[in-house]
Structure 1
Amino acid sequence: MGRVRTIARRSFLVGSAAILGGVAFGTYLYKREVENPLEADLAPGAATFNPFVKIDGEAVTLITPRADVGQGAYSIQAHLIAEELDVDLDSVRIEPGPPSPAYYNGVVAAECMPIAATSDSFMARTGRGASDVVGKLIGLQLTGGSSTVPDMYERLRVAGAVARETLIAAAAKQTGLPASELRTEQGAVLLPDETRLAYTDLAAVAAEITPVDEVTLRDPPDWRHLGKPHMRTDMMAKSTGTQTYGIDMTMDGMVFATTRTNPALGGGIVGFDASEAEAMRGIKAVLPISGGIAVVADNTWRAFQAAQAVACDWVPTPYIGETEKQFEEVAGSFTEDRQDSRFKDEGDVLAALDAAEDVLEAEYRIPYLAHAPLEPMSAMVKLAEDRLDIWTGTQIPRFMQMSAAEIAGLDKEQVHIHVLVSGGSFGRRLEDDYVRQAVEIAVQMPDTPIKMVWSREEDMTHDFPRPLAIARARGAVSDGAVQAFDLSIAAPSVTASSLARLGQPAIGPDVAIVAGAWDQPFQIPNYRVTGYRVPPMVPVSSWRSVGASGNGFLHESFMDELCHAAGVDPLEERLRLCWHDSSRKVLEAVGEMSDWGSDPGPGRGRGIAFTLAFGVPTAQVCEVTQTEDGIRIDKVYVAAEVGRVLDPVNFEAQLAGGVIWGLGHAMNCEITYEGGVAQQDNYHAYEGLRLHQTPQIEVRGLENGDQIRGIGEPGVPPAAPALGNAIFAATGTRIRALPFSRQVDFA
């Protein structure tokens, strides 16, 4: 039987998490209907039933407001609507929609709360409900935290169903036939005699009736799109080179710009001499901007060259400028006054360690990492007297709208953000610094379309990196079992750093410092995870899988060390300790896939790692061979539990991509600083996984959970520890600091 939604239209406004959680505050504001942004420019004869579907005489338009940064977000959102609306995606338009509170994210804020994904307590449900309330009340339109599918799974299906049933009602009104005798198929309402009334032909009638309130969502066995292998909606364009990214935008009469700001992060500029640059061919202007200069030219390459010719008088960085000293600051942060959290504290760790005959101690380090997306930061802007238009890829359109309005001296309603597909992000487009610069240029050159593009070097050296961290671990084993696990992690706060740039306060402990470590489903008798907040240094930001990206390595490397110290099999001990059924099944699946326990052969080793992040239990087994040329990664097996696999093809792609991303960064990548200047300024110094190094990757998706989860990030955290544990199994060398290439070679 389908699930009847008796408050279908309010399902866009009142999330089930809030209702189930028993949230009883802000009731009026929370339930108040949000304005449908599609109504603002609705043409005569066009109909919009909710913020996600618009139909006129020419086309059906599906709104997919979560940003597509390469993860297939537009495609899955469109499929969710299409499943209930009964349309084929090659016959509709897909648009990202404008900045609007109607597109709030009600799930992502829960990642900032100390709520274990495995908890179903009253407090956990209430906290998740509060996330939905907060998201709606502040209009939190944001893409991140693998939240697109969990947040949109029901909202978009309901949106499609409401539109479908309203179109049936419109056909009934037009024909005089009972709605019960009508059905839909491939963008049309079918009459009993099989006459087809196209949705586009019903738009004008549908616009005159009240959208249907009560709808029935289809059962999964009846799905035509979801759960079936299909081609992503962007695959043809990306495969043929016809996809338009932000960097591809062109407009009549546009000029080309680039910027150059102080290479020492946080430093300003005293002044500059642009005489040499201004004399160069094609240069139209050299302009001051915050912290540096902008060059406007007749093409991007000339702008790049002239920017380097400007003599700038830079101010030194206000931050600790050298990586060695930055690590010293981190190492000095394991103090009581810098303790940020202790969400996990079971048993009596100190007593257990005091009573142990042998205490295993280890220190691990992870470096800063850049986002380094293939498409460098760019934006097209045009400022008129009372209107500012911005074309770019972004994950934070409403925050961007507000900051741009402030710079341009306009009301936010006068700023129009046109969100474009991004050529990668990995969290980088949760920032708006590049657009701020473009708007500063536009203020000085009104009525001119300006295409601003950063050079690769500017992009790499002015990133907000994933923070560095140190973990200090102590543990004890006895009778062939892990008895005590004490993990302390010190890192700067991503949350505080990011929110400060958005003009928002950070309240309470930063869960990101210990994410992917404190909430692991292992029942160790004495188990403690403590987070320490390092004072602000280089500004940092979210990076694919955020805190779990490094904490997976910190937690699972030490877990492996304890298993070996106890003389037990690393998989069997994890299974013994794991109390969470879905996580156990993931571990069992990856063990079966990899034939764990069999002899891998001479010079070879297998490593296993598990991380529960973003609510997704993910396990990986990595197989390596020690060769004369170095370590060769042969194969990686990965299993994950997401509740339901909605797009099998993209599910596999996202998990495999997470493995490749995680392995490449663990092997080779770091950002180091001298005088506050990032020393890695292009891909030659920040080398990802090469094609010849890429292993075979076998993926399995499990569907045993009762909640729908996202898969863009969970594949990353187990990759580094699985590789490190495999290297140990093959060579006997335990590596406790990333990148691995500092200690071993890779074939």
Structure 2
Amino acid sequence: MASIGKIARRTFLIGSAAIVGGAAFGAWYVGRPAPNPLKPGSGEAALTPFVLVTGEGVTLITPRSEMGQGTQTTLAALIAEELDVAWEDVRIMHGPPAAAYYNSALLHEVIPGKGYDQSEFMHALAEYVGRVGKVMEMQITGGSTAMKDAYERLRVAGATAREALKSAASARLGVETARLRTENGQVIAPDGTAIPYTDLASDAAKVDLREPELRDPSQWKYLGKAMPRLDMVGKVTGTAAFGIDTRPEGLKFAALRINPKRAGMRNFDASAAESMPGVEKVVDLGNGLAVVARNTWLAQQAVDAIDVEWEDAPYPSETAAIFEKIAAAFDKKPNSTMRNDGDADAMPEGATEVTAEYTVPYLAHATMEPMNATAHYTGDALTVWSGNQAPTFTRDHCARAAGLDPAQVTVITPYLGGGFGRRGEMDFSVYATKVAVAMQGTPVQLTWSREEDMRHDFYRPGAMARMRGAVRRGSAVLLDAQVAAQSTSQQAMNRWLGISPGGPDKGHVDGLFNAPYAIPNHRVRGYLADLDVPVGFWRSVGASFNAFFQDSFMDELAHAAGADPLDFRLSLMRDEFPAGAGVLEAVRDMSGWGGTKLANTGRGVGFSYSFGTPVAQVVEVIDEGGTIRIARVWIAADVGTILDPGITEAQMIGGCIYGLSAAVNEEITFADGAVEQMNFPDYDALRMHNTPKFEVQLLENNNRLGGVGEPGTPPAAPALANALFDLTGTRARQLPLSQSFDLLL
């Protein structure tokens, strides 16, 4: 009998807090509306937490961070579609830290199950549990959840504001609300009289809000179309404001140096830095130092001049020793057995056994904009300008660092120059706060050097997998997967919320236990490595390594069975998950899979189901005189409902490039307790000359809205590795692939 492994008796990592929180607070408390955090002035109206009407126009409040993924454009479209404002008049503002902007979809993942087979009851339960995020003030951009969270909520916000404006116009004109219509920011009467929303703001603010009726998708003007991005002009012209562009009056600049071994300081001598002209202060951060000066360059020179004796690392000092600790996790009791179908211990009669072991390295986020934050502490208030993914958590952590109440802290979230999970952490904002406290009354911008950034990341954990399978008569009859790595969830919950939850870590085995292959004897176990290497959420999280393990091994099983790799997957997926089979069929047709290949060419397929979205990719590689180039990639994804095809396609391509970059050349290694990689030359991504051509097809057969920002990343590594096997006959089971092949770099 199928099983999703002993979940009923225990709780998940975040889920323990969520479900217990829902019971403790009660259904009424969890379900009640969050207060509107907007503070409109005279003649203005905050009709909902997402719609602010002033004399100058309508501003739409987008609750998620914009880090290049286009999320604020589509969030605005969700509101504007129902509110009836002209696209050229749309103005947006990131919402302040507030419970009203909680992300309910983040907590959906705590619900047991594989996701793709979720029942209506379990989906409804997930919706309820998601409301606990309001109590926890989980205003977070991550987990490919922005659209899943906002799809109904922001349309309701726009429609609610529209109906309030119509009610105000009805009272003014003496015309029934049902006879009024809205268009381009105006309420229009049957006789053609048009009243701008701006003229109705004060009256609309007094209207009792009602549950509105949402428009049918057949009436959509913006949703379902590739809309001009609201951040495009500013970014092209250089006028868009990122965190590093913050310039309050009287600003000073700071740089920092933290223990490269992630421990404390034994002692330091700052006299050389303090004697440098333009240096204003040296600040002891506990595990490092910051220097405040009249410009960033001088601050960096000064902090590098400080003589420091560092404490030793709290983890093994060399990469090999770290991976020995990861391998040792297999000798312990598993943290989870999230899938346990049939009998994975027995070998089916007449089957051929296949085994393999895979290893992937630690990875950095390597955001294009260096980590930075600006803070201004006045003694009884703190303002933080921070390109962050978690404004409420940033507010709370900075408040503690400054000794203030959260209500005394203002967090302003500008554009993020890349995030990928790194800017979901609070450390860079907290360090800026500590420096600002030492410089009371003076705003200070703390900018990390690229070297400090790369050596003090919260890394994607290194991981190992031991895979055992069996094939018979052209199909898989056994798959027993074991994965060992550190837990990102445990570390993150400890850093963010100060809790160390136990129980099965679902994210740890994401991409393995929920791989939609109907294999009769199928078991997935996760083992947690006992290590203190700092790890965190990296684009696609557990699926980033588990998809490589899962779909590389599926390729090995296919070849052992003498089957075509793509047809092999399809035969195991058609009945289990038709939407997943659909994306495999799409890339098969797009790429001409199975046809005649050019000489010196290899092709590989990769599949992953992550964040509610099945994605299949076919990668084509070409041997050009001994150097292998990634030539083409075909991508098919089923996101359920395509809200913006242009942005969705861009995210699938961007996610794939991020995954290919990691697969080809990226790794974080350790020597003497410190990270060896310092800057982009040591940790290079794909560039224009070695980035392949892409073709993307988007489908809408999935029964629910899926994520977009991350699902394009996981299939890239296995698809490339499988293509290289097809070309060379060499099976690479360790990343990065440049260690095994002469790839164009």
- TM-score band (shorter)? over 0.9
Query: Which of these residues, 376, 379, 394, is aligned with residue 388 of structure 2?
Result: 394
Note the C-alpha offset of 1:240: 1.5
The answer to whether the aligner puts 1:172 opposite 2:166 as a matched pair is no
State the TM-score, normalizing by the size of structure 2: 0.95
For residues 215-294 of structure 1, what are the structure 2 equivalents within 5 Å? 215-265=212-262, 267-294=263-290
Q: How many residues align?
A: 722
Query: Which of these residues, 564, 572, 583, is aligned with residue 586 of structure 1?
Result: 583
The answer to whether the aligner puts 1:93 opposite 2:87 as a matched pair is no
Query: Which of these residues, 575, 593, 596, is aligned with residue 593 of structure 2?
Result: 596
The answer to whether the aligner puts 1:564 opposite 2:562 as a matched pair is no
Note the C-alpha offset of 1:122: 6.5
Q: Deviations over 1:106-163 (max 9, x none)?
A: 1112224442111233663365135313212222111100000000000000000000
Corresponding residue number in structure 1 for 2:327 = 331
**CA contact 2:394–2:426 (8 Å) conserved in 1:** yes
Secondary structure at the aligned position of 1:698 is classed as strand
For residues 173-572 of structure 1, what are the structure 2 equivalents within 5 Å? 173-211=171-209, 213-265=210-262, 267-337=263-333, 339-352=334-347, 355=349, 358-502=352-496, 503-572=498-567
Q: Deviations over 1:243-298 (max 9, x none)?
A: 11000111111100111110112x10122111111222321111111211110000
For residues 94-109 of structure 1, what are the structure 2 equivalents within 5 Å? 94-109=92-107
Note the C-alpha offset of 1:46: 1.3
Distance 1:114 1:377 in 2: 36
Secondary structure at the aligned position of 1:735 is classed as coil
Note the C-alpha offset of 1:413: 0.2
Which amino acid is the alignment partner of residue 65 of structure 1? P
Task: Point out where structure 1 has 5 or more consecutive residues left out of the alignment.
Answer: 1-17
Distance 1:377 1:515 in 2: 28
For residues 30-179 of structure 1, what are the structure 2 equivalents within 5 Å? 30-38=30-38, 41-121=39-119, 124-125=122-123, 127-179=125-177
Which amino acid is the alignment partner of residue 564 of structure 1? H
Secondary structure at the aligned position of 1:571 is classed as helix
Secondary structure at the aligned position of 1:170 is classed as helix
Secondary structure at the aligned position of 2:493 is classed as helix
Distance 1:363 1:208 in 2: 65
Corresponding residue number in structure 2 for 1:616 = 613
Which amino acid is the alignment partner of residue 35 of structure 2? E
Stretch moving more, 50-59 or 649-658: 50-59
Distance 2:424 2:111 in 1: 19
**CA contact 1:259–1:294 (8 Å) conserved in 2:** yes
**CA contact 2:111–2:122 (8 Å) conserved in 1:** no
Change (3 A) 1:24 1:325: closer
Note the C-alpha offset of 1:174: 1.2
Which amino acid is the alignment partner of residue 85 of structure 1? L
Alignment RMSD, CA only? 1.7
Corresponding residue number in structure 2 for 1:11 = none
Distance 2:438 2:727 in 1: 61
Corresponding residue number in structure 1 for 2:665 = 668
Change (3 A) 1:151 1:357: closer
- Aligned-residue sequence identity (percent) comes to 47
**CA contact 2:657–2:691 (8 Å) conserved in 1:** yes
Stretch moving more, 472-481 or 424-433: 472-481
Note the C-alpha offset of 1:23: 9.5
Stretch moving more, 577-586 or 84-93: 84-93
Distance 2:499 2:571 in 1: 43
Which amino acid is the alignment partner of residue 555 of structure 1? Q
Which amino acid is the alignment partner of residue 89 of structure 1? W
Q: Deviations over 1:150-179 (max 9, x none)?
A: 000000000000001110111111111221
Secondary structure at the aligned position of 1:700 is classed as strand
Which amino acid is the alignment partner of residue 242 of structure 2? Y
Stretch moving more, 187-196 or 219-228: 187-196
Distance 2:233 2:626 in 1: 39
Distance 2:743 2:158 in 1: 50
Note the C-alpha offset of 1:357: 5.7
Q: Deviations over 1:643-679 (max 9, x none)?
A: 1111111111000111111111100000001122110
Corresponding residue number in structure 2 for 1:3 = none
Change (3 A) 1:686 1:734: same
Note the C-alpha offset of 1:626: 1.6
Which amino acid is the alignment partner of residue 428 of structure 2? Y
Distance 1:301 1:199 in 2: 49
Task: Point out where structure 2 has 5 or more consecutive residues left out of the alignment.
Answer: 1-17
Note the C-alpha offset of 1:358: 3.8
Stretch moving more, 105-114 or 165-174: 105-114
State the TM-score, normalizing by the size of structure 1: 0.94
**CA contact 2:31–2:131 (8 Å) conserved in 1:** no
Corresponding residue number in structure 1 for 2:3 = none
Q: Deviations over 1:599-637 (max 9, x none)?
A: 212211110111000010100011111222411111100
**CA contact 2:466–2:482 (8 Å) conserved in 1:** yes
Distance 1:24 1:191 in 2: 49
Which amino acid is the alignment partner of residue 443 of structure 2? P
Secondary structure at the aligned position of 2:642 is classed as coil
Change (3 A) 1:89 1:357: closer
Which amino acid is the alignment partner of residue 289 of structure 1? L
Secondary structure at the aligned position of 2:607 is classed as strand
Which amino acid is the alignment partner of residue 162 of structure 1? T
